Amino acid sequence: MSMDSSPLIVARRLSKSYRTASALAGVDLTISRGEAVAIMGPSGAGKSTLLLVLAGIVPVDHGSVVFDGLALHEMHDSELSSLRRERFGFVFLQGNLIPELTAVENVAMPLLVDKHSRRDAFEKAARQLDIIGFRPDKNVRCHYLSGGEMQLVAIARAMVNEPAVIFADEPTGALDQATGQEVMQVLSATTRKRGAALVLVTHDPNVANWCDRIIEIRDGMMHAEHHVRGGQQ
Ligand code: ADP
């Protein structure tokens, strides 16, 4: 666990409009190291946009995101993409797995891109799949897996290079309740142990309750915020 007590992410006065819609209208948010934050709120409220802005994927119109002292809006695209690759892990609904590759190859990918040896990458990937509770044959090509199994692979891939933050949009959306709870247990315990932050969007209170804090977004603004005591750990 990092001893650094400075905040990991400081977002100020974020606003973002798309051509036809306003998505964020002045959001302030500070996230600590090791903290898990759930973003909730009705559909269209701006939750996904907030996640993408915090991750430096979508630029804001106004406001700033500072990650570990780095102002994202001052960074070039190439610096931003290295930052995302090296320090962030992503779990998005679409999964973005490569269907022709096996489960273990998909999970090893961030390590191979990061120039780990094949052997090291495959060992770490296999271990991460075990940790997350993936039970099928790890050498099966992903297009043979169920939606839930693919989601487990995507989560293992997001965790394998020990990122400083994991950004997740409905990480348990394709999983049954029991598997979803297991995954949240692993995600929240692992991030806490590593001093990494977890920022997730969910509609499911049973998922949000694993986090330390729930923020509710309505009409692009912070509507409510509460701390979850102990969650379900
Ligand atoms: P949520 O995740 O809470 O459902 P979003 O952040 O996806 O909300 O969307 C917020 C608003 O911005 C909605 O009105 C949505 O239609 C609009 N929006 C989101 N993404 C885009 C986009 N790429 N282009 C245009 N409008 C968008």
List pLDDT tens digits, range 143-175: 999 888 888 899 999 999 999 999 999 988 888
Long-range own/partner contacts, residues 124-128 (CB < 8 A, 24 or more apart): 124/160, 125/156, 125/157, 125/160, 128/156, 128/157, 128/159, 128/160
The string of pLDDT tens digits covering residues 169-200 is 998 888 889 888 988 988 888 888 888 999 99
Ligand 1 midpoint to CA 196 (Å):
27
| Residue 43 φ then ψ, to 5° | -60, 135
Which residue CA neighbors atom 26 of ligand 1 most closely?
Answer: 18
The tens digit of pLDDT for each residue in 83-105 reads 999 999 998 866 678 999 999 99
pTM as predicted: 0.91
Nearest alpha carbon, ligand 1 atom 24: 18
